[in-house]
């Protein structure tokens, strides 16, 4: 076997996994009411963009060959319902219009669809009087947000709240408003992970009262349940499905790939990226090499596309 590892050309020839720039999706943050980009301390190299700096960043990513971006919004005002999520003039909607005007069909525009960035309590949905997330009331709001994002130019909406029936509600709302061509990328197996800390800093989200999302996100101990979630979302009309996080759940990605034929995404999340950056800053590891190894592992496990904060860094080398 070692004879086929002797030179770089031989290793390339027999490589089982091919990572391409076409596999990458870049997550980006856009903030309302700022005049210049704001660096995110726990996500080195990432910023909260202005509308203008977002346009510049997306143009540069497209020039590198990155085929898609996913947008997360930071509104100037939050309320109990997260109503900026479906405001036609909300920050993600105006950013989508900007990018749609700039890029046309040359880039896939994906909009994260959740309420946590927009609610004053930090949960992914509206709450009942006793502080629990109201599933049915929440998915109604998701439908409103989906239509607003689609009308603003989203090619794909990506519900991430892990509410029961969210895909069906969104697909019904999109079809009912004439947005039948807009696809749904379901965060089908989104785990209640400890790896989201840097992301929450990036979107200024803090769950009120020190709460958590374990009541609606996937239990990290369960894999079979994740496959049921994926099947249900596909039955409800999802066009693509996602596993999140990626590295700690490679087994779930592999099982999903073996059992479903729909396009499969995986999210190389903020904590996974930030740990590499922190160790590299200490000089303990070669950060670029580790990021490439991580993303390749996600691809090897079976993901067709990878959401990663390393997209800009990796793309020039592919």
| pLDDT tens digits, 256-275 | 999 999 999 999 999 999 99
Residues 6+ apart with CB under 8 A from 275: none
CA distance 272 to 248: 9
Q: Which CATH superfamily is domain 17-210+220-317 in?
A: Aldolase class I (3.20.20.70)
Structural contact between residues 256 and 226, judged by C-beta atoms closer than 8 angstroms: yes
| Residue 190: active-site member | yes
Residues 6+ apart with CB under 8 A from 87: 93, 148
Residue 210 has pLDDT above 90, yes or no: no
pLDDT tier for residue 80 given thresholds of 50, 70 and 90: confident
pLDDT tier for residue 216 given thresholds of 50, 70 and 90: confident
The whole-number average pLDDT for the span 43-62 is: 97
How high is the pLDDT of residue 128?
87
Enter the tokens of residue 70: 């996913």
Residue 304 has pLDDT above 80, yes or no: yes
How high is the pLDDT of residue 208?
62
Question: Within 10 Å of residue 226's Cβ, how many Cβ atoms?
Answer: 23
> Which is catalytic among the residues 190, 214, 277, 282?
190
pLDDT tier for residue 211 given thresholds of 50, 70 and 90: low
* pLDDT mean across residues, the chain: 94
CA distance 149 to 298: 29
How high is the pLDDT of residue 261?
96
Residue 314 has pLDDT above 90, yes or no: yes
Structural contact between residues 181 and 174, judged by C-beta atoms closer than 8 angstroms: no
Residue 94 has pLDDT above 70, yes or no: yes
pLDDT tier for residue 254 given thresholds of 50, 70 and 90: very high
CA distance 288 to 157: 30
Residue 316 has pLDDT above 70, yes or no: yes
> Which is catalytic among the residues 78, 214, 244, 277?
244
CA distance 186 to 177: 20
How high is the pLDDT of residue 161?
87
What pLDDT digit, counting tens, does each position of 112-145 carry? 999 888 988 878 888 888 878 889 999 999 999 9
How high is the pLDDT of residue 209?
60
How high is the pLDDT of residue 295?
98
What pLDDT digit, counting tens, does each position of 12-30 carry? 999 999 999 999 999 999 9
| Residue 214: active-site member | no
Q: Could you give the 3-state DSSP secondary structure of residue 185?
A: strand
Q: What is the DSSP string of 306-317?
A: EEETTHHHHGGG
Residue 54 has pLDDT above 90, yes or no: yes
How high is the pLDDT of residue 201?
87
Q: What percent of the chain has pLDDT over 70?
A: 98
Residues 6+ apart with CB under 8 A from 124: 114, 115, 116, 133, 138, 160, 161, 162, 163, 213, 216
């Amino acid at each position: 076997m070692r004879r086929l590892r002797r030179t770089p050309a031989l290793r390339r020839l027999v490589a089982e996994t091919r990572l391409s720039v076409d596999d990458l999706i870049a997550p980006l943050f856009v903030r309302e009411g700022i005049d210049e980009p704001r660096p995110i301390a726990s996500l080195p190299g990432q910023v909260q963009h202005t509308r203008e700096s977002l346009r510049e960043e997306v143009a540069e990513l497209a020039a590198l060959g990155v085929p898609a971006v996913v947008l997360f919004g930071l509104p100037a005002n939050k309320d109990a319902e997260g109503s900026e999520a479906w405001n036609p003039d909300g920050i993600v909607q105006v950013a989508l219009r900007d990018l749609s005007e700039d890029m046309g069909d040359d880039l896939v525009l994906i909009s994260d669809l959740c309420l946590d960035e927009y609610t004053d309590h930090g949960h992914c949905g509206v709450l009942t009087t006793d502080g629990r997330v109201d599933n049915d009331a929440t998915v109604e709001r998701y439908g409103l947000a989906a239509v607003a994002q689609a009308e603003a130019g989203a090619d794909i909406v990506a519900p991430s709240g892990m509410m029961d029936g969210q895909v069906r509600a969104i697909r019904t709302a999109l079809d009912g408003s004439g947005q039948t061509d807009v696809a749904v990328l379901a965060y089908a197996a989104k785990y209640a992970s400890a790896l989201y800390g840097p992301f929450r800093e990036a979107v200024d989200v803090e769950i009120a009262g020190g709460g958590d999302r374990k009541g609606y996100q996937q239990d990290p101990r369960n894999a079979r349940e994740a496959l049921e979630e994926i099947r249900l979302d596909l039955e409800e009309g999802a066009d693509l499905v996602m596993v999140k996080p990626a590295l700690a759940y490679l087994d779930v990605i592999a099982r999903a790939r073996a059992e479903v034929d729909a396009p499969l995404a995986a999210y190389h999340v903020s904590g996974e990226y930030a740990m590499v950056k922190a160790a590299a800053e200490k000089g303990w590891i070669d950060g670029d090499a580790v990021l490439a190894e991580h993303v390749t592992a996600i691809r090897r496990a079976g993901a067709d596309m990878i959401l990663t904060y390393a997209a800009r860094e990796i793309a020039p080398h592919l």
